[in-house]
Structure 1
Amino acid sequence: MEKVKCDCGHVNPYGTYLCESCGKPQMEDNQTLVDMRYEGVARRSQTYRKTFIDKIWNFFSSVKVGIWIIVLLLIASAIGTIFPQEMYLPPGERAAIYYEQEYGILGKLYFQLGLHNMYSSWWYLLLIASLGVSLVICSLDRVVPLHRALKTQRVKRHTSFLNRQRLFSKSDDVIETAEEDIQKAEKALREKKYKIYKEDGNLLAEKYRFSRWGPYVNHVGLIIFLVGCMLRFFPAMYIDENIWIREGEEVVIRGTDGEYFLRNDQFIVEYYDEEDERFRDSFERTGGQPVVETYQTSATLLKKVDTGTVGVGTELEEVKQYDIRVNDPLTFEGFSLYQVDYKLNELAEFTFTIESNLDDYNGDLSNISFEVDLYNPEMVYELDGGYRVEIFQYFPNFYINNRGEPDTRNRIPDNPRFIFEVFSPEVDHEEERGELSLVGVQINEPLVDEGEVNDYSIRMIDVDMNHVTALTVRRDRTLPILFVGGTIFMIGLIQGSYWHHRRIWLQNRKGVIWVAGHANKNWHGLKKDIEFIIEGTSIPMPEDQTDESNMIEEIEGVKGNDDATTK
């Protein structure tokens, strides 16, 4: 599109409202005061509207669109807190079952809509990305032309620019000491730390221009912060997961690519002394239940050793031993292991024996027993005397589902049930079926037709329990990015909030002094500055033209002078 040449000779981009050099309006409007927002510069979103790229640019450059994206993000974030996200479900719980059981039809709908993993969903990340794009385009659409306009502004301004400023006045008569008065004002302005520009006896005083960039510095910080937030969804940048480790167990530490392991040597819980008077109120609140003073995991960090020999099993070497407590994590190579939870006396192992239900049985089965690991049971047990037991089905946390069938809530052995298949020495397990029995804590039921009895049954004779500790594995490489973004954001916020761009124009037009002032904020402070600099001079105090009566009077007084241009 063609550029617009002002009467002062400056060539302005198409769509310019105020000449970047002299300030003369390039478009007719009915406003009494000139619109100084963005210095009246031409913005791309207001001039180019034809191509597909223009439409995308114009859409995201709208402040209203940015606000709506923020509103949608706030609403979505609020919805995500109605029920706990999947990462915070109890260990071993299946989301498809848990939400419906705990929260009913609303929980089921919450899961089906994918809101249980909302913060990592594609549409939520798309909203964050859209906000970032909106910030970038909004900033570029305004800051580039604004910087150009402030850089090219001249001292001598067109009369229609001066008399349509909010603060404006001019002397009624010719002042013989106009030059001396402007010099006195210049000295006072320097005391106020204004930067002075002079041209042909005219003066432009300006300070705190840097505050105009505060919102854009703010945007830069926010964009960096959003990038840091989005990087938290990449495992290489951010890990925050829970692992449950039983005493004596070794588990691989997530996020280390199988290089590091952790062994739970011992879990310790200490309670407050019930006889101590200092803790009497705590015991009363808990109904006399023990109050935990501290709990810790005595752990050993292990590292995989590369033996260099093909076929050799994994060898682990001890790296360090550490007592992990609340707020006292084990740290290594950017990882931190925090103590967050525990579970005492979890069922770990059952011991079973075989009993005969035959009246004429003369054998001895008292020495036949087998142990079943509830976390990782073997499927077949070959026993003395030719007996064989197979696990037909295993339900770690048994319940009857809504179809009337046995099922398990999760893989944690809180209510274990086994369906064993027993083969006596006389039965060929490859050719015939064994006898089925449902066995668990305080339950032993033969799975046979009514009126029939199994020849052999399984009975539990011993149980072994274990303590389980929960640790959070955390690695956060996004913290430096978030810190930099947050710091830049605060710098921009302070920059735009505590300083305000102020400008004062003093022009000597054949002995008549014109005074105009503009501030993007804090007009009262600008008025105080002008009162200070004109003290002891004949320079008139500019009036605030937002007062309607003063506005009409001043506009009529300068009508007819619009043809005076800055040379």
Structure 2
Amino acid sequence: METFKCECGHLNHVGTVICESCGKPQDEGATELLDMRYEGTARRSIVNNQTIIDKVWTFFSSVKVAVIIIIITLVAAALGTIFPQRDLLPPTANPTTFYQDEYGIFGKIYDAIGLDNTFSSWWFMLLVASIGISLVICSLDRILPLYKALNKQTVTRHPNFLQRQKMFGISRVDNIPEEIEKAKVKLQKRGYKIREENGNILAEKGRFSRWGPYVNHIGLIIFLIAVMLRYVPGMYMDKALWVQEGELKPVVGTNQNYYIKLKDFHMETYDKNKESKIYKKAIERYGNDKIPKNYQADVTLYKRQGNLIPGEDPKLKKVKDYSIKVNEPLKFQNFALYQVDYRIGEFSAFLFTLQNKQTGEKLGPIKVDLQNPKQFYDLKNGYKVELKNYFPDFYFNSDGQPDTKTRKPDNPAFVFKMTTPKTPKGEVAFVAIKQNIEPNGENKFKMSFAGIETKDSTGLTVRKDLTLWLLALGGAIFMIGVIQGMYWYHRRIWIQNQDGEIWIAAFTNKNYYGLKQELKKVLGDTKIEVPIDQQAEKSV
């Protein structure tokens, strides 16, 4: 940036309105009050606008631009919360049909325009990054010139600088040095830092409050960095994990290094006969034994030993037993498993017998595990059953073919091939709840329903958050900046001997009323008159 020399000899950057050293305004003939927001220093965004970098800097240094970006981000975030985001859908939901099935045409539009992935989309990340860039540039564009100006200010200021402060006054007294010394002692007692030069004084305190907004910006920048880090693989995870009683499953996100087994699930409800009378009406309103009191999963955590070998069960070492309750998660490494949901009496297995339709003779039963069904079942003596197809949540699709909506066994259906000594080529049967269809004509044998087995399931949330400390740090720094900027004030008082008169001027970045009251106390025992509020005088 180009410079010019003030009459005091100080070199200022082109665009400076008030000399950083002596305070001489460049528009010396003007009479309106000085704009002291940035001490009249030259800012890059105002002075330089030639290269592409300058134009980008100028764009992002604008507070108006920052506000517009924030508003757009808030609107986008609001739209993203109208319906659940795709990564928060129930584990059994089909994302391609969920929104239309649940919310109709609005859900279909919501999904089509990509709002189902709002917070992980590239354009939302770009908006968040733009806010961060704007905060950095806005801060640097203002804080560096302001810091330099405050550090370079001299005690003796240009007369025009004093005259154009909001609070200014002239006093004529007999013993100027004595009166200035009295004021100096009072100012020191009130915590002001005093600098002297040629009999003039500059009293200053609370300069650090000027940095409050920029500390806010630092906190926000750290907070935004933490938010964006959540989309870096391995930094943040919030996934659902359903485990059935007796089932062993790898913990999602651990690369199959950890496994969990549900040993038992406990469900307790409120009983009006056992609870305090004050809860009786509430329990009766919702129904006795209907309100969950506690549900917990008794689990065992295992750690895998060695490498995974295809086709072989992993070698596991028990880590610990734990009872997961609501708000009492199982924690290990950087993971936490929270109890969030449950299913009571979920289908676990169906039992069938192979029945001779003519004689009524039954063989079996066979047990079909609904989570991991076997393909072949040997009933010996030449009797065999093959599971040709399995539909956990059966329905007929648009082509009229059997299909499954989800992998959850809510409405299981099976296609069996039955081979017997009397039917060596085999017979095919389609078996569903209250359905037994013979697609190739009448069979000699059928698969008869013989019973069901049910188990309880627990719904866990697997959570990992390595950004939490960074979010807390950003929030703490932001609050420090808020307190720093709100509860302290930057105050400066200039008292100068000008040709046998005492000129006094005062500035504060906020709360001029408080400054006036303080000046009355400081100057109460002196003959120096309290400066007047020139802005208030003009308005009158």
Contact 2:165/2:507, CA 8 A, preserved across alignment? yes
Identity %: 48
- Partner SS, residue 59 of structure 1: helix
Query: Distance in 1 between the 2:333 and 2:428 partners?
Result: 52
1:45 paired residue number:
45
2:78 paired residue number:
78
**1:68 corresponds to which letter in structure 2?**
I
Cα distance, 1:116–1:312 mapped onto 2, change above 3 Å:
closer
Q: Residues 467-515 of structure 1: CA distance to partner in whole angstroms, max 9, x if unpaired? A: 1011122222212111111111111110000001011111101211111
1:445 paired residue number:
437
Q: Residues 32-68 of structure 1: CA distance to partner in whole angstroms, max 9, x if unpaired? A: 1111111111111111111111111111111111111
1:376 to 2:365 alignment: no
1:272 paired residue number:
270
1:407 paired residue number:
403
1:104 paired residue number:
104
Alignment of structure 1 residues 501-540 onto 2, 5 Å: 501-540=490-529
Alignment of structure 1 residues 219-298 onto 2, 5 Å: 219-276=217-274, 278=276, 279-298=279-298
Q: Residues 265-313 of structure 1: CA distance to partner in whole angstroms, max 9, x if unpaired? A: 1111123334236242233121345332211111111111238999975
2:472 paired residue number:
483
Query: Distance in 2 between the 1:295 and 1:225 partners?
Result: 35
Cα distance, 1:402–1:514 mapped onto 2, change above 3 Å:
farther
1:22 to 2:18 alignment: no
1:458 paired residue number:
447
**2:306 corresponds to which letter in structure 1?**
D
Alignment of structure 1 residues 131-530 onto 2, 5 Å: 131-171=131-171, 174-276=172-274, 278=276, 279-306=279-306, 313-357=313-357, 365-401=361-397, 404-425=400-421, 435-448=427-440, 452-530=441-519
- Partner SS, residue 524 of structure 1: helix
Cα distance, 1:390–1:309 mapped onto 2, change above 3 Å:
closer
Contact 1:544/1:550, CA 8 A, preserved across alignment? no
Q: Residues 71-130 of structure 1: CA distance to partner in whole angstroms, max 9, x if unpaired? A: 122111211211122233222111111111110011111122222222122111111111
Larger deviation, residues 481-490 vs 387-396: 387-396
Query: Distance in 1 between the 2:40 and 2:307 partners?
Result: 72
Query: Distance in 2 between the 1:286 and 1:475 partners?
Result: 36
Contact 1:97/1:409, CA 8 A, preserved across alignment? no
Query: Distance in 2 between the 1:549 and 1:440 partners?
Result: 90
Q: TM-score, normalised by structure 1?
A: 0.89
Cα distance, 1:88–1:309 mapped onto 2, change above 3 Å:
closer
Contact 1:235/1:255, CA 8 A, preserved across alignment? no
Q: Residues 213-254 of structure 1: CA distance to partner in whole angstroms, max 9, x if unpaired? A: 011111111111111122222342222222111111111112
Cα distance, 1:307–1:401 mapped onto 2, change above 3 Å:
closer
Cα distance, 1:272–1:28 mapped onto 2, change above 3 Å:
same
Larger deviation, residues 255-264 vs 398-407: 398-407
Cα distance, 1:260–1:420 mapped onto 2, change above 3 Å:
same
- Partner SS, residue 367 of structure 1: strand
Query: Distance in 2 between the 1:438 and 1:242 partners?
Result: 33
Query: Distance in 2 between the 1:504 and 1:461 partners?
Result: 95
- Matched residues, number: 538
Gaps of 5+ in 2: none
Q: Residues 398-456 of structure 1: CA distance to partner in whole angstroms, max 9, x if unpaired? A: 23445655432211101112233444556676xxxx644331222212225xxx43343
- Partner SS, residue 418 of structure 1: strand
1:547 to 2:533 alignment: no
1:563 paired residue number:
none
Query: Distance in 1 between the 2:88 and 2:313 partners?
Result: 35
**2:57 corresponds to which letter in structure 1?**
W
Query: Distance in 1 between the 2:270 and 2:529 partners?
Result: 79
Contact 2:80/2:119, CA 8 A, preserved across alignment? yes
Contact 2:350/2:453, CA 8 A, preserved across alignment? yes
Contact 2:414/2:431, CA 8 A, preserved across alignment? yes
Query: Distance in 2 between the 1:427 and 1:454 partners?
Result: 9
